[in-house]
Amino acid sequence: MTTPAQKIADVFVQLSGGSAGTPLQAPELLTTLVRCGPQLLGVHAVGTVVALDDRTEPQIAGSEDSAQELKREGLRWCEGPGTDTRRSGRPLPCTAFDSEAAMRRWPRYAPRALELGYTRVAAYPLRTRERPVGALVLLSSAEDTPMSEEAGTLAQSLADFTALALIREHELQKSRTLSGQLEHALVSRVIIEQAKGVLANSLDLSMDGAFALLRGHARTHRRRLTDVAHDVVEGRLKLGLDD
Amino acid sequence: METGGPSGDAAVAWQRAATARERAARAEVLAAQQEALAQQDPSSVHAKIAANHRRSANCHRSSAELQEAYARRLTALRQPHEPLPLFMGVVADACGTNSAALTLIGSDHSQLAVAASDEGARAAQDLEFVLGEGPSTDAAARRSRVSAVGTAIERRWPCYGPAVAALGVGEVIAVPLETADGCLGSLAVFDPRPGTATAAVFADVTEALVRTVLLGPDADPELYGDTDHRDTVHQAAGMLSVQEHCAVGDALSMLKARAYAEGVPVDEMARRIVHREYRLA
């Protein structure tokens, strides 16, 4: 493998979000990885599977339709080099699909891979701080020259880099959600207190009485308390004692 | 939280501290692994990963220290009716001062909630709320550290400055509580001991506050009971808006102005309005 250093550097820059440096979202990131993978690593095709946590569906990407198809089936069968590597967190050395070991380990995946024209596979874990979150799978056909050790090292560092970028993006999303929720809760509280004041003054109620009225209205009209409070504060909704 | 009194609270705090210690230790192991790999291959991604783990470890260690200090104060309580120590007290202590104030600020720059370690910090925070200018506001709006000493305080904030100086404040430092892509508010400290309020201390304390106390899986945005939402002030603003036939935002401004003009704390002014002891007109 003789990929010029500049080409390798360019791919890392693309994975980190290009010259703008804005983190790529997971689907774009995986697409970039599989698009650049084959030429950079000197293999026929590249596939990847990622599951950042137990709650989200695993995501897949492939550099060509058959690679994507193979990834999808591997996921459905819970079988194949990607699944194994994602679980173990260890790289899988180059293995021929028609070998006895491969056939025994992947009884459905290996024949399907051969059918699609792939003869050999190697896989590298996408590793993060605590656990592997995915795998980068390199698929070779009969015409491809055997993968060099150098290509294996590069594949692992691409995988590590991608994993880091994925986790950073995931944490960004999580933090965005949490701070959004916190702000929403705080703003809601302010509006509810203000609405209580409005009702207490207009209807000569205690603050508890005003709150009961707000809550009662929200329940009977199946609306969120915050929305009702907002309408009261803005003067769009006039509540009476019989509400 | 159902904890069964101060000893229950202390047990929970010790537990939170232990969890934070474990997380710090785990991050340190991972950082060391990546640092070893980075030494073999300096151009690799390992140095970057290692730095991330280190930052994480510092943040968890700082959380553990805050929780341990808080647990120690809870454990020291002898009488069940003694007032609970403030979590903000240990935050202030970690920043080398007695006076620290945390302000949660909305995207519209309004104060949404506050927490203070002592009377002085609370008074300073109230001034900022009433006057609408000051270090917490600036640190959050500019997303950067703000500091001023002595007469610079009065020059920088024409209304807030002289008022806070009159409280006896000689130095103020405020830092934003930054999240990955936003800002929750700020932490202000007043009169830190010389040399203790270093940038590194603030970075660790604020990151621990953001990542483990305010947000995250074990977070308690109520700061274990310290957070004040100024409920009475907002109720009073609601009442005033009806009395004065104006928008609630204008009513809030009127309330602040009147409190300031009469030299009454804004909470007290609000309490009088809510209890119908005072009418603006």
Mutation pick from B235, B240, B267, B279 vs chain A, by most beta carbons of A within 10 Å, is B235
**Which residue(s) pair with B176 in the sheet?**
B186
Residue A20 has a pLDDT of 65
Residue A111 has a pLDDT of 93
Q: Is B15 on the interface with A (CB under 8 A)?
A: no
Distance CA B239, CA B278 (A): 11
Say yes or no for a CB contact (<8 Å) between A176 and B242: no
Q: Is B216 on the interface with A (CB under 8 A)?
A: yes
Say yes or no for a CB contact (<8 Å) between A194 and B248: yes
**Cβ neighbours of residue B245 closer than 8 Å, sequence gap 6 or more:** none
Q: Is B229 on the interface with A (CB under 8 A)?
A: yes
Q: Which of A157, A182, A201 sits opposite B221 (nearest CB)?
A: A182
Q: Give how far B236 is from chain A: nearest CA, Å.
A: 6
Residue A2 has a pLDDT of 56
Distance CA A235, CA B69 (A): 48
**Sheet architecture: strand order including A92-96:** A59-62, A45-50, A132-140, A120-127, A92-96
Mean pLDDT of A220-235: 95
The residue that leads in pLDDT, A13 or A213, is: A213
Say yes or no for a CB contact (<8 Å) between A193 and B181: no
Whether residue A30 contacts residue A48, with contact meaning beta carbons closer than 8 Å, is answered with: yes
Say yes or no for a CB contact (<8 Å) between B180 and A176: yes
Distance CA B104, CA A17 (A): 32
Distance CA B76, CA B1 (A): 20
Give the number of other Cβ atoms within 10 Å of residue B10's Cβ: 19
| Alpha-carbon dihedral sign for residues B20, B24, B26, B27 | positive
**DSSP codes of every residue in B61-101:** HHHHHHHHHHHHHHHH--STTSPPPPHHHHHHHHTTSSEEE
Tell me what the pLDDT averaged over chain A comes to: 88
In the stretch 183-212 of chain A, residues with CB closer than 8 A to chain B read: 183, 185-187, 189-190, 193-202, 207
Distance CA A13, CA A20 (A): 10
Q: Is B281 on the interface with A (CB under 8 A)?
A: no
Whether residue B239 contacts residue A200, with contact meaning beta carbons closer than 8 Å, is answered with: yes
Express each pLDDT in A19-42 by its tens digit: 666 677 888 889 988 988 888 888
Percent with pLDDT over 70 in chain A: 95
Residue A146 pLDDT > 50: yes
Q: Is B209 on the interface with A (CB under 8 A)?
A: no
Distance CA A27, CA A13 (A): 17
> Residue A86 half-sphere exposure, CB side, CA atoms within 13 Å?
26
Quote the tokens at residue B176.
């934003």
Chain A partners of B113 at a C-beta cutoff of 8 Å? 186
Say yes or no for a CB contact (<8 Å) between A185 and B221: yes
Express each pLDDT in B162-187 by its tens digit: 999 999 999 999 999 998 778 999 99
Mutation pick from B55, B107, B129, B242 vs chain A, by most beta carbons of A within 10 Å, is B242
Cα distances from A238 to residues A230, A232, B56, B224, in angstroms, run 11, 6, 51, 37
Whether residue B199 contacts residue B176, with contact meaning beta carbons closer than 8 Å, is answered with: no
Say yes or no for a CB contact (<8 Å) between B30 and A201: no
Residue B2 has a pLDDT of 43
Q: Which of B53, B219, B235 sits opposite A193 (nearest CB)?
A: B235
Residue B281 has a pLDDT of 62
Give the number of other Cβ atoms within 10 Å of residue A113's Cβ: 26
Give the pLDDT of chain B (281 residues) as one tens digit per residue. Answer: 444 566 788 899 999 999 999 999 988 988 898 888 788 776 666 777 788 888 889 999 999 999 999 999 999 887 778 888 999 999 999 999 999 999 999 998 899 999 999 999 999 999 999 999 999 999 999 999 999 999 999 999 999 999 999 999 999 999 999 987 789 999 999 999 887 767 778 888 999 999 888 987 778 889 988 999 999 999 999 999 999 999 999 999 999 999 999 999 999 999 999 999 877 76
Residue A116 has a pLDDT of 92
Among A110-124, A218-232, B11-25, B35-49, the minimum mean pLDDT is found in B35-49
In this prediction, residue A168 has a pLDDT band, given cuts at 50, 70 and 90, of confident
Express each pLDDT in A189-199 by its tens digit: 999 999 999 99
Say yes or no for a CB contact (<8 Å) between B112 and A190: yes
Distance CA A109, CA A92 (A): 15
**Cβ neighbours of residue B261 closer than 8 Å, sequence gap 6 or more:** none
Say yes or no for a CB contact (<8 Å) between A194 and B241: yes
Whether residue A41 contacts residue A151, with contact meaning beta carbons closer than 8 Å, is answered with: yes
Chain B partners of A184 at a C-beta cutoff of 8 Å? none
Residue B80 has a pLDDT of 75
Quote the tokens at residue A91.
């790289």
Residue A130 pLDDT > 50: yes
In this prediction, residue A187 has a pLDDT band, given cuts at 50, 70 and 90, of very high
> Which value does ipTM take for this structure?
0.89
Give, as one character, the DSSP assignment of residue A98: T
Say yes or no for a CB contact (<8 Å) between A179 and B219: no
Query: CA A57 from chain center: how many Å?
Result: 8
Residue A3 pLDDT > 70: no
Whether residue A128 contacts residue A86, with contact meaning beta carbons closer than 8 Å, is answered with: no
Q: Bin B217: left if φ > 0, else alpha if -120 < ψ < 50, else beta.
A: alpha
Residue B3 has a pLDDT of 46
Q: Which of B56, B215, B248 sits opposite A233 (nearest CB)?
A: B248
3-state secondary structure B209-249: HHHHHHCCCCCCCCHHHCCECCHHHHHHHHHHHHHCCCCHH
- First vs last C-alpha separation in chain A: 77
Residue B8 has a pLDDT of 82
Mean pLDDT of A125-132: 81
Distance CA A175, CA A129 (A): 18
Beta strands B99-105 and A45-50: pairing type?
unpaired
Q: Is A177 on the interface with B (CB under 8 A)?
A: no
Q: Is B43 on the interface with A (CB under 8 A)?
A: no
Say yes or no for a CB contact (<8 Å) between B231 and A193: yes
Q: Is A136 on the interface with B (CB under 8 A)?
A: no
Distance CA A174, CA B210 (A): 13
Say yes or no for a CB contact (<8 Å) between A194 and B106: no
Chain A partners of B219 at a C-beta cutoff of 8 Å? 178
Express each pLDDT in A45-96 by its tens digit: 999 999 887 777 888 899 999 899 999 999 899 899 998 998 888 999 999 9
Residue with tokens 């602040």: B256
Chain A partners of B231 at a C-beta cutoff of 8 Å? 189, 193
Question: pTM for the complete prediction?
Answer: 0.79
Residue A53 burial class via C-beta count within 10 angstroms: exposed 0-12, middle 13-18, buried 19 and up: exposed
Say yes or no for a CB contact (<8 Å) between A172 and B52: no
